[in-house]
Amino acid sequence: MPVSQFRTKDRPAQSFDYADFFKRYAKAFEQSLADPSHIPTLRSFFAEHFLGLSFEGTVEAGTNDENFGRMLDEGYAFYKAIGTTAMRVEKVIAQPLHEDHDRIEVFYTAEYRRPGGAQLSIPFSVVYLTQRRADGAKIFAFIAGDEMALYRQYGLVDENGKPT
C-alpha cells in the first residue's frame, strides 16, 4: 500500500501511511459491530470538529464528543441489524490538498450476511479530508455516497430504510 510523504510547515518531512490508518479504522469498525466499547477508538480517528457531506448535497457539522459516540453506537447497531459482518480496505489513494491537509479516497468492500444466511459483498468508496498532525492524521470531513440506495438495491433494508 502507498505511503505518502509530505513536508509540514512546522515539522520535518513525515510519512503518513494512510493505508495503515484506514485499515485500523476498518478494524475498529468491525470491532464496534460486536462490542460498543470500541466506539472511543473510532472517535480517535476524527478531529475535534468535522463535516459530513452526503450525495444529496447536505453538509452536517459534527463535534467529536459523547453525543457523537452515541450516534456512532446507534449507527453500528444499524449496521449490525442489516447483517454487516466485515469491512475491508481494498485501495487507498492519497493526494495532498494543502499544507498539512490531504484528500484520501478509500475503496472498501463490506461483507453482509443476508436474512437466510447468504453472504453478500458490496464495494464502495468514501472520500476523506484529513489533517496531518504531530500525533498522526485526523479526519475532518468525509463525503459518502447513497448507502441506503445500495442497501435497498441488495435487499438489506426496505423502502423505509428498515432492516429486512
Taking only the tens place, the pLDDT of each residue in 73-126 is 899 899 999 999 999 999 999 999 888 999 999 999 999 998 788 999 999 999
Distance of alpha carbon 64 from alpha carbon 83, whole angstroms: 27
The H or E element containing residue 105 is strand 101-113
pLDDT for 120 equals 96
Q: Could you tell me the pLDDT band of residue 1, with boundaries at 50, 70 and 90?
A: very low
Does residue 46 contact residue 133 with C-beta atoms inside 8 Å? Answer: no
49 forms beta bridges with 63
pLDDT for 115 equals 79
Tell me: pLDDT of 128 over 90. yes
pLDDT for 15 equals 60
Please give the class, per CATH, of domain 16-153.
Answer: alpha beta
Distance of alpha carbon 97 from alpha carbon 104, whole angstroms: 10
Q: What is the DSSP string of 33-98?
A: HH-GGGHHHHHTTEEEEEEEE-TTS-EEEEE-SHHHHHHHHHHHHHHHHTTEEEEEEEEEEEEEEE
Q: Whose CA is closest to 125, among 11, 22, 5?
A: 22
pLDDT for 54 equals 82
pLDDT for 108 equals 97
Tell me: pLDDT of 134 over 60. yes
Q: Specify burial of residue 44 (Cβ count, 10 A radius: 0-12, 13-18, 19+).
A: middle
pLDDT tens across 5-59, in order? 545 454 433 468 999 999 999 999 999 888 878 889 999 999 999 999 987 778 9
Tell me: pLDDT of 159 over 60. yes
- Residue spans of the domains in the chain: they are 16-153
Give Cα separations from 58 to 52, 63, 113, 144, 160 (angstroms): 8, 17, 30, 11, 20
Tell me: pLDDT of 2 over 80. no
